[in-house]
Structure 1
Amino acid sequence: MTAARRCAACGRHDLVPFADLGGMPVLCGVHFASRAEALASPLGAMWLGHCPGCGYVRNLAFDPALLVYDTTMDTNLHHSPAFQSFSAELVKRLAGRYPLGGATVLDVGCGQGEFLRELCHVAGCRGVGYDAMYAGPTGSDGSGATFHRGHAPLDDTTPAFDLVTSRHWFEHLDDPYGFLVRLRELAGARTVHGYLEVPDAGYDLGTAGWEVIYPHVSYFDGYSLCRIVERAGWRVEATGRLFSGMFRFVEISVNAPGPVAGPVEDAGPGDRDRQLGSIAGFAARHAAERDRWRGTIDRLLDAGDRPVLWGAGSRGVQFLHLADPDRRLAAVVDVNPRKWGRHLPVTGHEVSPPESLAGSGTRAVIITNPAYRDEIGAALRRLGVRAELLVA
């Protein structure tokens, strides 16, 4: 075990270990050309610790040297119509809430740029995006956004920004508090707003934990997310849950006059207490869900079924590592064409297009993200696949 680590969120307590999950796939977002390469993909230790004061959770065994973020990773969710719709609604909300016309938006961890391009289009703003996984052309692309391949330097070369956004990157940072402090320093005396979006730890630790993955260093519920924001010198404007309760957002500001912009939902002491309750039972629940799904797959196979998994993202990779390490499932499918014909880390499952299920005879399709249930159900009906959807 590592030495005691102080809570990054509230800064008041040392983290207390509560769950040793063993080795977990490190490169959840990489999809390999060959099964041999996939099987050789590394495992990293997951030893979770929590703050007894605010409920913040961190992998105490995290080693940043194991993770390399580059264009071989593909964590893009925009191939899903459900996620596209969610992202478009978010763009409309931010464009309506803040004066972005002619403003500059800094997007840290911009992915492939879909969100930033749409925000520039709807709000009439300029955008600057950074991401080591960005695979498109760098520089200005005519949308109002300029993209850089690499981590945001957050130094004197960073352009002055009016809004900073970071979606599903904050939880990857080895030093999330330092990140917020540096952004606050760059804001200076200007009025700056911000939007952070992370997986909701209240959901992930209250369920099986398929999104408790190695690349996620930190796990924030509403209470701990607000504490780290405030400790770094920002004001909480609004917070709440999104995307079927699986995501947590916080809107923040510095030097902003007037009242806060919106509601602060489920981010008080009651939320912290629920989080601490989930933490107390997580290790047993995680192991029980792993065993339950191994047993479920056994029963489906014994009944002559050909069960498949729909979804080859990080949740799917974690599920396969825990519940199907011997590749007993008949198939793994995903809507992202960049994954087709490639193999998933550690287990080596090959990813196929959803169309491959037509005529396959499967009667059970497992999904690990309930937010996509309606979308996947409709796709199966279009393919003529009559199968029960099992939500893990």
Structure 2
Amino acid sequence: MVNIATTPQSELGELNKEHRCPNCGSQGLHIFYEVRNVPVHSCLMMSSKEEALNFPCGDVVLGFCPQCGFITNTIFDAKWSAYAPNYEDQQSFSPTFNKFALSLANKWIEKYNLNDKDIVEIGCSKGDFLFLLCEQGNNRGVGIDPSVVPGRVQSQASDRVKFIQEYYSKKHAEYVGDFICCRHTLEHIQPTKEFIQTVRDSIGERTNVAFCLEIPDNTRVMQELAFEDIYYEHCSYFSPGTLARLFRSCGFEVTDLYKEYGDQYLLIEAKPIAAETSDKVHPNEETVAEVAQDVEHFAANIQGKLQYWKDYLTEQKVANKKVVVWGSGSKCVAFLTTLDTINKIEYVVDINPNRHGKFIPGVGKEIMSPEFLKEYQPDMVIVMNAIYCDEIGVMLKNMGVETEVVAL
């Protein structure tokens, strides 16, 4: 644990005693990073520029819990959590992402003998991953997500999958099955302990039901100063240790804890136990003191990185360089709004056809197809996620677009 009395306030930020940690319940969070006036949603697709520019905005004020290491937006307002079918976060148009998703599905199928079983996915988005689990293992599935669009994804397992367009809650306890997974959902939920406890309570005494969860890894965000991964929808930020401690406090034993996808994603695998808590600590967990060091590093260096990118984009603008951002999702929105440099980027492109012709909330840029670059011939393409650089490089070459590719 971090000793508040011996931790200088200048390193971790001001201690706000009014805030209670939603992860462990302790009182008092250190405020260390603020971004004002950012769109409250990054992936809700707007039909016009005017609608996008008038989109509601809120503030991000990150607080660090010195007791458990959890990080949260202390002024997050859940009233903006309006996930709906026009929430467009589908990633399965990328071969790079599909390769990872298929590998993960096959790993869990083999590891948990998921053949002819009943699977529940909480926060299933458009259903891509749930269909993979059901196709590869001849399983049956239930997907719970208010943004799901039944019929969007074509699958041979369609007749074995049921979608529920709702937020997961206690009323869905009947949908437990033989295996539960939840990918990139917990970071959108502020009452984290309440959510994980709800899943544990739904399982009850069926201790053979595994629960696997995937979220962004906050260790990388802090260490690499990845400000583009901090935005309004993400109100909860976990390191391996903070996530594992949460699971144990809710009656799970952590059976595996690891990172994937270029260490961007943090995955936890757990099983329910009869005891109230488990004392089994996974070797990949870090201490709260180590999280505090990462927070201190971020707080001390983030302004320098922000200024670097502001200056860099200004230089390109002055030189009349045509700069395009590749990737119109949350990273793009955070990149442009945090830097307050929306007018230094003319166009944003995306591989997802369901985004084309739509406008980015809070930014107002129309999302273009990659084909647009054949005509535009940009001088530079800034890639929001470096893991896609090779894939994008091939696409640019095939389209006859010669340009500098810069990874954020």
- CA shift digits 1:331-367 (9 cap, x unpaired): 1100011111111111211110011111423221101
Question: Matched residue pairs, number?
Answer: 386
Counterpart selection for 1:81 from 88, 95, 99: 95
Residues 16 and 31 of structure 2 are in contact (CA less than 8 Å); yes or no, is this contact kept in structure 1? Answer: no
How far 1:135 moved relative to its partner? 1.5
User: Secondary structure of 2:321's match?
Assistant: coil
Matches within 5 A, 1:69-218: 69-137=83-151, 142-155=158-171, 158-190=174-206, 191-206=208-223, 207-218=225-236
Q: Whole-Å Cα distance in 2 between the matches of residues 175 and 129 of structure 1?
A: 21
User: What per-residue deviation string (whole Å, max 9, x for no partner) do you get for residues 284-307 of structure 1?
Assistant: 533333322121112122233201
Letter in 1 for 2:177: F
Q: 1:336 to 1:324 in 2, by over 3 A?
A: farther
Give the secondary-structure state (helix, strand or coil) at the position aligned to 2:336: helix
Q: Report which stretch shifted further, 186-195 or 154-163.
A: 154-163
User: 1:189 & 1:3 partners in 2: Cα distance?
Assistant: 38
Equivalent position of 2:294 in the other structure: 278
Give the Å deviation of 1:208.
2.9
Query: Is 2:326 aligned against 1:310?
Result: yes
Query: Does the 8 A contact of 2:23 with 2:191 survive in 1?
Result: no
* Residues 340 and 363 (structure 1), Cα distance of their counterparts in 2 relative to 1, 3 Å cut: same
Flag structure 2 segments of 5+ consecutive residues without an equivalent.
Answer: 1-14
Query: How far apart are the structure 2 equivalents of 1:200 and 1:386?
Result: 34
What corresponds to 2:42 in structure 1?
28
| 2:269 counterpart residue number | 251
Could you report, residue by residue, the CA deviation over 1:308-342 in whole angstroms, capped at 9, with x for unpaired residues?
Answer: 10000100111111235442223110001111111
CA distance in 1, matches of 2:84, 2:172: 24
RMSD of aligned residue pairs (Cα, Å): 2.4
**Which moved further from structure 2: 236-245 or 280-289?**
280-289
Match of 2:21 in 1: 7
Q: Is the 8 A contact 1:309 1:365 kept in 2?
A: yes
1:158 shift after superposition:
2.4
**Deviation (angstroms), 1:12:** 4.6
**1:168-221 deviations in Å (ceiling 9; x for gaps):** 001111211111111111111112101110011011222232111111111001
Question: Does the aligned pair in 2 maintain the 1:363–1:387 contact within 8 Å?
Answer: yes
C-alpha deviation, 1:382, in angstroms: 1.1
**CA-to-aligned-CA distance 1:221-240 (integer Å, 9 cap, x gap):** 10100000000111101011
Partner of residue 45, structure 1: 59
3-state SS of paired residue (1:343): coil
1:238 maps to what in 2? Answer: 256
Change (3 A) 1:2 1:345: farther
CA distance in 2, matches of 1:74, 1:137: 15
Deviations 1:77-124 (A, max 9, x none): 111111111100000100010022232211110000010011011122
In the superposition, the TM-score normalised over structure 2's length comes to: 0.88
**SS, match of residue 214 in structure 2:** strand
